[in-house]
Amino acid sequence: MPIILLGFEPDELSVEQRRQIEQLAPHMQLLQTTDRPTIERALADIEIAVRRFPTDLLAQAPNLRWYQQWGAGADWLLNQPEVVASDLIITTGSGVHAIPITEHIIAMLLAFARGIPPAIRQQTGRVWRAPEWEQLFELPGRTMLLIGVGTIGEQTAKVAAALGMRVIGVRRDPSIPAVGVEEMYASDQLLDLLPQADVVVLTAPLTPETRNLIGPRELAAMKATAILINIGRGGTIDEPALIQALQEGRIAGAGLDVFAREPLPPDSPLWGMENVIVTAHYAGATPVYDDRAMAIFLENLRRYLAGEPLQNMVDKTLGY
């Protein structure tokens, strides 16, 4: 009997969720485990895997047809050429994060706009000091450059536009519009766009093309008053170049949820910079994450068994 490998701990899957899976696939055996030896013993019979699955075993599973990962990023494919070359279908949890990540981006932006980081430091020292008014700014009329206008970028554009910002975007296919984005461009126009931006937001996945997408040239093209926010992948920014630009005041600040190395090493200069907000890669966290991801899986399971195209399919050659 073909197996659906449910990569959940015993307490992570409710009775109702399991019933819904059984109802959709009564002819398949459900194996709920994250134990590697157990997975290895069942490897020959696994047809579908969801959530946690050792990625180094994907190419070794002879009958595995579809892997539904729980997160959105698929940059692990950079180290799995055998999987890229295979017929395995990979789908993601894209869309689950759009609301919390958008709110994280806007929270960082508003924190810089209203001088919140120094205010928090002053509070811990019981210091009463207001910022100079020239150090603050308002969002209406400011330009946001979104690099990577996928599901997250589209949600961010809607909210930023509602706050009165002018939003311009960069995506692989600039002919595809997005609500809230006034103008869309291709990535080869990035250097021309950066001088326009008051805030640059990176939501791009990590691929060979996006690695160090923001480097010395791009940082030099930005305004000295610009804010850089990265919630995508740390590898899309040349981190030493960013640190130098921040230290030299060539950009005003950075809000960073992702880093080249995670956890961020204790000796990183980013920790001590007053013009940097560091969060521990939790922009996508939300109490309703698993419910949204499960809804995607259940709909994809229905489609898979009906022979219909799946949602959120990864183009393995592109890496997202």
CA atoms of 59 and 85, how far apart (whole Å): 10
Residues 254 and 264 in one domain: yes
At 156, the pLDDT band (50, 70, 90 cuts) reads: very high
Residues 235 and 169 in one domain: yes
Neighbours of 190 (CB within 10 A): 18
* Contact of 314 with 74, CB cutoff 8 Å: yes
State the first-to-last Cα distance of the chain, in angstroms, to the nearest integer: 32
Kindly give, in sequence order, each residue whose CB lies less than 8 Å from that of residue 161, ignoring residues fewer than 6 positions away: 167, 179, 180, 181
Residues 215 and 297 in one domain: no
The verdict on residue 53 lying in a domain is: yes
Number of domains in the chain: 2
What is the tens place of the pLDDT at every residue in 3-49? 999 999 999 999 999 999 999 999 999 999 999 999 999 999 999 99
The verdict on residue 257 lying in a domain is: yes
The verdict on residue 318 lying in a domain is: no
What is the tens place of the pLDDT at every residue in 84-112? 999 999 999 999 999 999 999 999 999 99
Residues 76 and 108 in one domain: no
Say what angle helices 98-113 and 151-162 make with each other, to 10 degrees: 40
- Does the bond joining 131 to the residue before it have cis omega, within 30 degrees of 0? no
The verdict on residue 127 lying in a domain is: yes
Domain CATH for 117: 3.40.50.720
**Residue 265 belongs to what domain range?**
98-278
The verdict on residue 316 lying in a domain is: no
CA atoms of 180 and 177, how far apart (whole Å): 9
The verdict on residue 41 lying in a domain is: yes
Residues tagged active-site: 233, 262, 281
What is the tens place of the pLDDT at every residue in 261-275? 999 999 999 999 999
What is the tens place of the pLDDT at every residue in 123-154? 999 999 999 999 999 999 999 999 999 999 99
Residues 86 and 188 in one domain: no
Read out DSSP for 288-302? THHHHHHHHHHHHHH
What is the tens place of the pLDDT at every residue in 164-188? 999 999 999 999 999 999 999 999 9
Residues 137 and 260 in one domain: yes
Residue type, 143: T
* Contact of 197 with 169, CB cutoff 8 Å: no
What is the tens place of the pLDDT at every residue in 64-80? 999 999 999 899 998 99
What order do you get walking across the sheet with 143-147 strand by strand? 183-185, 166-170, 143-147, 199-202, 227-230, 253-256, 276-278
Residues 301 and 203 in one domain: no
Q: Residue 212: its pLDDT value, please?
A: 98
Q: Span 203-225, mean pLDDT? A: 97
The verdict on residue 140 lying in a domain is: yes
Residues 132 and 143 in one domain: yes
pLDDT at 196 over 90: yes
Residue 221, classed as helix, strand or coil, is: helix
Residues 237 and 202 in one domain: yes
| Mean confidence (pLDDT) of the chain | 97
Residues 138 and 242 in one domain: yes
pLDDT at 319 over 90: no
The verdict on residue 103 lying in a domain is: yes
* Contact of 209 with 315, CB cutoff 8 Å: no
Residues 205 and 235 in one domain: yes
Residues 159 and 124 in one domain: yes
Q: How far is CA 24 from CA 79, 88, 299, 302, in A?
A: 33, 21, 10, 6
Using CA atoms of 120, 123, 128, 131 in order, give the dihedral in degrees to the nearest 10: 0
